[in-house]
Each structure stands twice: as structure tokens, then as C-alpha cells.
Amino acid sequence: MAYQPQFKVKATYMRGGTSKGTFFNIADLPKEAQEDSAKRDKLLQRIVGSPDVYKKQMDGMGGASSSTSKAILVGKSDVENHDVDYYFCQVAIDKDFVDMSGNCGNLSSAVGPFAITEGMVDNVPQNGVCCVRIWQANIKKTILCYVTMENGIVKEMGDYEIDGVAFPAEEIELEFVEPVDPSEELFPTGNLIDDLEVEGIGTFKATMITAGIPTVFVNADAIGYKGTELQGDINSDTEALARFEKIRIAGALKMGVMKDASDALTQQHTPKIAFVSPAQDFTTSSGKEVKAGEMDLHVRALSMQQLHHAMMGTASVAIGVAACIPGTLVNNAAGGGDKNTVTFGHPSGAIKVGAALTENNGKYTVEKASMSRSARIIMDGNVHVPAGTMD
């Protein structure tokens, strides 16, 4: 057979918040990838560099972590009052699957700038703030992304700093509108706190919530931690990671997010497992000393079976909502009582999140959750893909 050269696909590599991913205008994907989801997944996997038995993604765009093994598809939206549709693809590093069960809140901040740059948004102001109305197609929710424009182009550089990102950039405000539909259960079990029984491990107090992304919260001290741990304290401990996965699966089954434990083999992105503790002094992964008075509580969360280096954006939404509801483990860790914002510590520093809620006869409705991120284009052009990838 004659040699077949690689083919090219137009792409943009972007950072959004504390994540990075390869962005695609859906219209630029090969026709077969647009029409066949299996071929699309093969294409995205090969571009990112998965599955890689060495877990390095050396032969692709991925960075060998849950924060960087991501592909993002964006196209003009047919949904009323929305500019673009946004599909988030969490590409497994060493396994053969693409998880589209949830969203990436951090990369949501890059969807707005990408959509504007690609000409997908109408009536963009020359100067000022452009609100990009995003339809998150994975979870069928609305995200409002507020992007600053200057002289007709996206203003990327500024002085807004994010713990977990080495350089400042322009602030991008995000609003997650009705992250839980009023007809859905914010707390699927009907309880603010449950006794979660995990076979072979024990029974733990847990708050299980669906805002942002389904998340299982447990107390740090109940599982043998202080709550100030960094990646190195957990990610090298295979027994600890296995325990976290068992707790995550038990919570998923109780929430109804999974029907069977075997679902965890191909559903690693949702739900998340996180542990909380009261505010206390700690040292970040960069060596920065942070005092207890600078935050309300600590939260550590795992993504794709690894402790995250900062905090996932969707989990930040879950934290913000849970913290603002008196009686949850997250609210208790933050000191209890009524709140509309909290600042929580994570391995790289701290972040402020908020939520607007209404309560009626004990049932909470989340009007919106909010946080700020930043984003910028790192590279654009073409990714080269080996021939036969989609065969």
C-alpha cells in the first residue's frame, strides 16, 4: 500500500482557568467525524494522544493530566437565545474512551473568547463587555461568559491572577444559569447529609449534590486527612486512590448517577469526589503561605482518579451552591449559617465562588452560580493526524 501522509485539522490550543485543551470549530472537523460520533472520538483521542499505556500522551496535544487531556467542540447554536453550542470531551489518558457526561467549568471561560474569535457571535461590541450565551450541550445548561473587547478584538491580557496559573490575564466572569433545573433534585437522595455506606471501608457522612457537576462531599477527618493535602500526598498512594474511587462509586449509586458499579469503568468524569475541612493555615503547591483568615474552608477534589492541582470549575459551582445552603457538610465546614459567597482553599491557593438561591418549604432552587476565570489562546493553526485514524 502506498504511504498515506498525515491530514490536517484546524485547531486552537487554549488555556481556560486552570485547564488547557484543544478547541475545534465543529464545522472544521472532517465530515465523517461530524456525522459519526465513534469516528469523532477516535479523531479526538489521537489528537490528544490517547490511549497511551505510558500515561504521558507524548504523541499528542494532551499534557498527561486530567486538567489537560481535553478536547472542546464549539459550533453555532440552534437553541433559542444562545450563541453557540459547547461540547466538552474529557479524553481518558491510558484507557480507550471519551467521557462526555459532564462539563469543564474552567474551560467554559475559554469558550466565549474562542467563539468570538471564530466569528460565531453576532453583535460583538468594538469596546466593552460581550456576553456570550453558551449552551453546554453535554448537560443542557446555559452559561453566560462575559468577555472584554478592546478595539474589536478579545482582550486577553490583564492583571487578574488565578491561584494555579503562573501569569495574570484579563478577568472573565462566568454565570452558570440554573445549574440544576427547578424540576430536578438538587440533592438526589432528598437529604442535606446522608450516611454513605462503602463496602469494605466504612460509613461516612456525605453531602451529595448535582449543581455544576454531581459531587460527593465527605469530611476530611473522617477519611484520615487534614484537608490541606497537596497532590503529592495523595496521587502517589495507590491504596488511597482506590478508596476514593470506592467512595465515589458508592455515592454515584446512591445518587442514581450510575446504575451499576461497572459504569465507573467508562464514567470517570462524573461524579466528583471531594473532602472538606474548616479554614486553617497551609502551604500551597508553589510554597506560598496562606493564613486561615484568608478563606472560609478547605476543599480538595479528585478528577479522573487523581487529586486536582487546584479546583475544577464545575466542582467550584457545586462547592459554592452547597456552601450557601445551611446544614450541608460544605456549609458546616465554612462555619455554618446563611451565605451567598465563600472563599475556599485548594492545593494551589484559594478561589471565591457564589450562588443565588431561593428556598421554599425546604426545597432550594439555584438561580445561578458565579465565579471568575481567565483564558487565552496559546497556539492556533492545524493539528496533524495520522491517516487511518478514523478507520
What are the chain's domains? 7-171+375-385 (3.10.310.10), 194-368 (3.10.310.10)
**Residues in contact with 230: Cβ distance below 8 Å, sequence separation at least 6, in sequence order:** 284, 285, 307, 347
46, with CB counted inside 10 A (0-12, 13-18, 19+), is buried
Strand partners, 344: 297, 351
- For 146, the enclosing helix (H) or strand (E) is strand 141-150
Contacts of 334 by beta carbon, 8 Å cutoff, 6+ apart: 278, 279, 296, 297, 323, 342, 344
- The residue with cell 478579545 is 154
pTM of the model: 0.88
Which of 315, 318, 320, 316 has the alpha carbon at shortest distance from 334? 320
Q: 157: which residues sit within 8 A by CB, 6+ positions away? A: 168, 169, 170, 376
C-alpha distances in Å from residue 294, one per residue of 218, 349, 351: 22, 10, 10
Q: How far apart are CA 376 and CA 390, in angstroms?
A: 30
Instruction: Tell me the CA distances in angstroms from 337 to 291, 293, 322, 355, 357, one per residue in order.
Output: 22, 17, 12, 14, 14
In the prediction, which pLDDT does 273 show?
97
**Phi, psi of 309, deg, nearest 5:** -75, -15
pLDDT in tens, 41-91: 999 999 999 999 999 999 999 999 999 999 999 999 999 999 999 999 999
Could you tell me which of 301, 274, 303 has the C-alpha nearest to residue 204? 274
Q: How many CB atoms sit inside 10 A of residue 285's CB?
A: 16
3-state DSSP call for residue 247?
helix
Cα–Cα distance measured from residue 202 to residue 207, given in angstroms and rounded to the nearest whole number? 16
CA dist., res. 221 & res. 200, Å (int):
18
Q: Please give the Cα distance from 93 to 89 (Å, whole number).
A: 12
CB 160 within 8 A of CB 171: yes
**Residue 286 in contact with residue 329, Cβ under 8 Å?**
no
- Tell me whether residue 238 is exposed, middle or buried, using C-beta atoms within 10 angstroms of its C-beta: 0 to 12, 13 to 18, 19 or more: exposed
- The number of beta carbons lying within 10 Å of the beta carbon of residue 178 is 15
How far, in Å, CA of 138 to CA of 133, rounded? 15
> Which residues are catalytically annotated?
104, 312
* Tens of each residue's pLDDT in the chain, 391 residues: 799 999 999 999 999 999 999 999 999 999 999 999 999 999 999 999 999 999 999 999 999 999 999 999 999 999 999 999 999 999 999 999 999 999 999 999 999 999 999 999 999 999 999 999 999 999 999 999 999 999 999 999 999 999 999 999 999 999 999 998 888 899 999 999 999 999 999 999 999 999 999 999 999 999 999 999 999 999 999 999 999 999 999 999 999 999 999 998 889 999 999 999 999 999 999 999 999 999 999 999 999 999 999 999 999 999 999 999 999 999 999 999 999 999 999 999 999 999 999 998 888 999 999 999 999 999 999 999 999 999 9
The beta strand positions in 347-385, using DSSP E, are 349-360, 363-373, 375-385
Residues in the chain: 391
Cα 195-201-207 angle, rounded to 5 deg: 30
**pLDDT, tens digit, for every residue of 264-288?**
888 999 999 999 999 999 999 999 9
Which of 209, 212, 214 minimizes the C-alpha distance to 194? 209
- Euclidean distance between CA atoms 220 and 212, whole angstroms: 21
* Distance from C-alpha of 248 to C-alpha of 270, rounded to nearest angstrom: 9
